[in-house]
Structure formats: C-alpha cells, structure tokens
Homo-oligomer: A and B are copies of this chain.
Amino acid sequence: MRVTIADVARRARVSKATVSRVLNNRGEVDAATAIRVREVIAATGYTPSAGAVGLATGRTRTIGILVPDLASPWTAAVLQGVADVLEEHGYGLLVSTTHRGPDALTRFARRVSGKSFDASLLVEPPDQPSYLAELHASGLPIAVVDDRREHPGFACVVADHRAGAGAAARHLLAAGRTRPLVLATGGTRCARERDAGFAEAFTAAGHRVTHRVLPAATRESGATTTADALAAGATFDSVFAHADLPALGALDALRAAGRRVPEDVAVVGFDDSDLATHADPPLTTVRRPARSVGEAAARMLLANLEGNPFPTDPVVVPTELVVRTSA
C-alpha cells in the first residue's frame, strides 16, 4: 500500500492537518513536532498524492502545451525552453500535438475543461477560432507562441523577425553589398516583418531590393527561384532568404552558375537550423531563438499564475545574426 498523510500522522502522533502544515510550511508548527514529522516522512518515503492535492487545492502544478508537432526543430527547441523553466519551478508539462488532426484540438479542450492543468501554452495553434474562443472563455490562463501574431486577445511571445532581418541587411551593407535579392516565404505576418526589416535598412541606404516570393520554403524552390532570377538577368550581389532551406537552394543555384559565395554573391539565411552550420560554405543566418521564446512564454504563464496580469503587448524576444562564411 501507498503511504498516505494519515499514516504519517499516525506514526508521528499528530493530526493530518499538522502534517499538511509542515509539508507546506504553512501556519505555526512547533519546531520539535515539525522535526518529528519530517523524520517520519523521510523514514516512510512519503510523497503526497498529486491527484489528491490537486483536488483539494484546485491547482495541479502542471501546465498543458499544445504544439503542431514534436519533431520539428523549432517546436522541439521551444518545448525545451518551456520544460526547463517549468522544471525549475516544480511544474509539470503535459504535452499535446495537433498533427494528428482536429480531434487533437478537441481532446486538448477536453483536458482544459477537465482541469488537467493550471494554464496552457499554444504554439502556433491552427486557426480554429471556435476552439480558441472556447479555450479563452474557459478562464484558464493561456499564452500563445506564434510569430504570425495572429491571435489578438491572447498573451503572446514572438521572435523579433524584423530586427533580425534588419541585422542581416546591415551586415550585408557593411560588406559593401548594394543589390540584394530577397527570397521571401508566404504572406505570414512574420514574413512581412522580415521583409520590412530588411527593406528598411536598404532603402534607408538608398538601395533597391529585388524581391521574389517562393512557392515553398524548400531547398528546391530556393534553387529554382535563384536560377530564374539569374537567367532573367537580375543583377544581385547578395541573397537574403527567409529560411535556411531556400538559402541552401540559392547556394546550389549560385554554384551551378559559377558564382562564388561569398566573393561574388553573399548569402544569408534565416532560422539557424543545423543545416546552416553544415552547409557549404557554412551559412550566415539569423537565429530564431526558439529556446528563449519557450522560456519567456513559460515565465509569463508562471507569473500569471502568481497573480501578475499578462502583458498587453506581445513579448518580443531578440534574434541574433550568426555570421559564418556565406556572407
């Protein structure tokens, strides 16, 4: 049988209430009694039942996180940041995934109303306003990690895409590059931020940027788009891709065309994935601080649970230009 608080109370010749008090350092307890109780606890290896504590207090010391999937480096790193902070504060992390379809969302909502956790964190949640609204209405503290910043009304943590793109631009400018080709990804909010941050710096310096939108954020589309630009006679001395994969593609196309990187054309990516380190040449890129984003989000949630209201504006985590060889 498991040892319960009643067992401890009996063996220490006190009431359950007293045991509870020493357990939680609450209320006044005689020093000697406390010691005795602690001894019994140690001797029996007693650990409070999480479920019972949760039922009695209404708090589970667990937070729920909903991520698109676990295998992508970005979400995995965010998760790591969240887990670190929560662990440090003695909170548990209950993970759910949306990648198996919309049922997952329902199930998550179920857990929310089942009070499986005290707060929850949504990482790039799918746009299903009904569920989101429902979650919001549940009264549970909710924070969102979403660079698309598409969920007003929720406390939010985002990476600073604009500043990152700006840093990339200034790095290129400092190296004397004046005619960049931008390989942009779709029309998400963060893509617009990157465009804005990059273009801003170049136009401020009196230069124009050539802008292409990629059909997909893949290596292939990066390659063909770059090759097309080359074939169309576009003159550019640098490439800024909205992701590392297309940057790799640009590298391919450039090599195929006999352009040297970075001598003839400098290339900058975005994300700082593993691939960037191992690219040939190693890719200069803007690091998306997944880990820090996760940490910030977790801290925000924890602060909220302690009574501090959520910040009204998105928390912006700085990005960082990682200079390697390609630019």
Binding site for B on A (CB under 8 A): 2, 45, 47-52, 54-55, 60, 62, 69-71, 73, 76-77, 79-80, 83-84, 87-88, 90, 92-97, 99-100, 104, 107, 110-111, 113-116, 219, 248, 273-275, 278-280, 291
Contact = CB atoms under 8 A, between A and B. Distances in A.
Listed residue (A2, A51, A79) with the most chain B CB atoms within 10 angstroms of its CB: A51
Contacts of A51: 51, 54-55, 60, 115-116
Nearest to A62: B94
B88 A100 contact: yes
B83 A95 contact: yes
25 contacts: A2-B113, A2-B115, A45-B113, A49-B55, A49-B115, A50-B111, A50-B115, A51-B60, A51-B116, A52-B55, A69-B80, A70-B77, A71-B77, A71-B80, A73-B76, A83-B95, A83-B96, A87-B97, A87-B100, A88-B100, A92-B94, A92-B111, A92-B116, A94-B95, A278-B278
A79 B90 contact: no
A96 B124 CA distance: 22
Given A73-B73, A87-B104, A93-B94, 13 more contacts: A2-B113, A51-B54, A51-B115, A55-B55, A62-B94, A71-B291, A80-B99, A84-B100, A87-B107, A92-B111, A93-B95, A248-B278, A274-B275
Oligomer: number of copies: 2
Contacts of A278: 219, 248, 275, 278-279
Given A55-B55, A70-B79, A80-B71, A47 B104 contact: no
A273 B49 CA distance: 41
A78 to B, nearest CB: 9
B62 A70 contact: no
A120 B246 CA distance: 40
Contacts of A90: 107
A51 to B, nearest CB: 4
Nearest to A294: B70
